[in-house]
Amino acid sequence: MRDYVGEEDLYRHSKWLAMMERRLKVAKDLLNPASSAMIVAIDEKEYLRLGLLLEQTFPEASIQMISTIINPKGVGRQNEFSRTNEYIYILLFGEQKISKLKIDNNGKEIGLDWQTFRRRDLASARGTMKGGKAQFYPIYVDKDTGKIVDIGEPLEHHVPKESAPQIDGCVAVFPVRPDGTEMNWATTCPTFKARLEKGYARAGKFTGEPQEYIIQYLKSGPIADIESGVAKVLGRNEDSSINAVYEAETRKTPTTQWDFPSHNAEHYGTETLKSLIPGRQFPFPKSLYAVQTFPPDLQVIYYQ
């Protein structure tokens, strides 16, 4: 970039954007609108401006941004956090789909990722706009079996939880923090009931806290893995919750945070260039394999 725009140039951002816009318009002519992808790697200096430019140039594309670890040790800078990552914009055109990655579980089966059903952020506390009006309701857990036996109706914000109907032998569990702050459940009552019936929700251990039992549920990702066969169903547990595992080798949709050893810019960028062009320096090269991680059948145009 410094060959095109000087660091002291007051208009360096606009000049850089003009340079990138010309190249992106060329790329647009080369991409197949029916099915293709474009990948753009960028550091934190220009990623915000680049994102706006990509949206402007490719309004028809599906755009996501990935954060990828390029130097686990971090690059130290004066009075700044050590930088470990860069960003990758991925643009999908037409019918292009994301392929699933092969995950090696080191020869072991691993269980499902059960999440706490109580919302965590205070912005979702009971009575807040974000928290909604119908996500504070009793979940009845049998004291002897620890099994969820019923789900009550939502309570209005002004109604104390103690007024909820009681069921003999059961505890009416509400989403309450250890300090007594009343929160909300992660979904509405009908959605939770549907997940419970399919075995996608359960009661955890007794806590003795204001919320006497932990309530757990499966999010959409693990549910999709179960229903597509990625996770192998072994049966049901005693509390009727689903018992499923990921086998030793599975395929899963990539997340938006990557930590691939092959993306290490020092090992597979700087060192690769040194071996190819001894005695020459190229500042901040990206790993060669940041591109080759992607399935070979993608039509890819890659810019640095």
Residues 6+ apart with CB under 8 A from 283: 2
Both tokens assigned to 234: 């072994």
What percent of the chain is predicted at pLDDT more than 90?
A: 51
Lowest mean pLDDT: which of 62-66, 123-127, 171-175, 194-198? 123-127
**What's at 210, amino acid-wise?**
P
Distances (CA, A) of 3 to 7, 12, 15, 16, 19: 10, 11, 12, 11, 12
- Residue 223 pLDDT: 94
**Rounded CA separation 223/228 (Å):** 8
Final residue of a structural domain among 169, 192, 217 = 217
Beta bridge partners of 94: 35
Among 176, 155, 175, 156, residue whose Cα is nearest residue 164:
155
| 202 and 283 housed in the same domain | no
pLDDT digits (tens, 9 = 90+) for 2-33: 455 555 555 667 888 888 899 999 999 999 99
**Rounded CA separation 139/57 (Å):** 50
- Residue 43 pLDDT: 84
Could you tell me the pLDDT band of residue 104, with boundaries at 50, 70 and 90? low
- Residue 181 pLDDT: 95
**Rounded CA separation 192/35 (Å):** 38
Give the number of domains in the chain: 2
Task: For residue 241, tell me if it sits in a domain.
Answer: no
102 has a pLDDT exceeding 80: no
| 123 and 78 housed in the same domain | no
| 142 and 63 housed in the same domain | no
Query: Average pLDDT for residues 138-166, to the nearest whole number?
Result: 95
| 79 and 131 housed in the same domain | no
Task: For residue 229, tell me if it sits in a domain.
Answer: no
**Rounded CA separation 5/12 (Å):** 6
Task: For residue 205, tell me if it sits in a domain.
Answer: yes
167 vs 105 pLDDT, higher one: 167
**Rounded CA separation 155/134 (Å):** 7
| 132 and 62 housed in the same domain | no
**Rounded CA separation 140/245 (Å):** 27
| 66 and 121 housed in the same domain | no
Task: For residue 287, tell me if it sits in a domain.
Answer: yes
| 146 and 196 housed in the same domain | yes
CA 154 to chain centre: 30
Task: For residue 196, tell me if it sits in a domain.
Answer: yes
- Residue 200 pLDDT: 97
111 vs 51 pLDDT, higher one: 51
Query: Average pLDDT for residues 121-149, to the nearest whole number?
Result: 92
Lowest mean pLDDT: which of 196-200, 278-282, 295-299? 295-299
Q: Which residue segment(s) compose the domain that 44 sits in?
A: 12-98+254-303
Please, where are the H alpha helices in the chain? 12-30, 47-57, 189-198, 220-228, 265, 271-276, 289-292
| 202 and 123 housed in the same domain | yes
| 127 and 188 housed in the same domain | yes
Task: For residue 77, tell me if it sits in a domain.
Answer: yes
Final residue of a structural domain among 169, 197, 217 = 217
Task: For residue 224, tell me if it sits in a domain.
Answer: no
Final residue of a structural domain among 201, 217, 233 = 217
| 119 and 210 housed in the same domain | yes
Task: For residue 295, tell me if it sits in a domain.
Answer: yes
| 22 and 80 housed in the same domain | yes
pTM of the model: 0.57
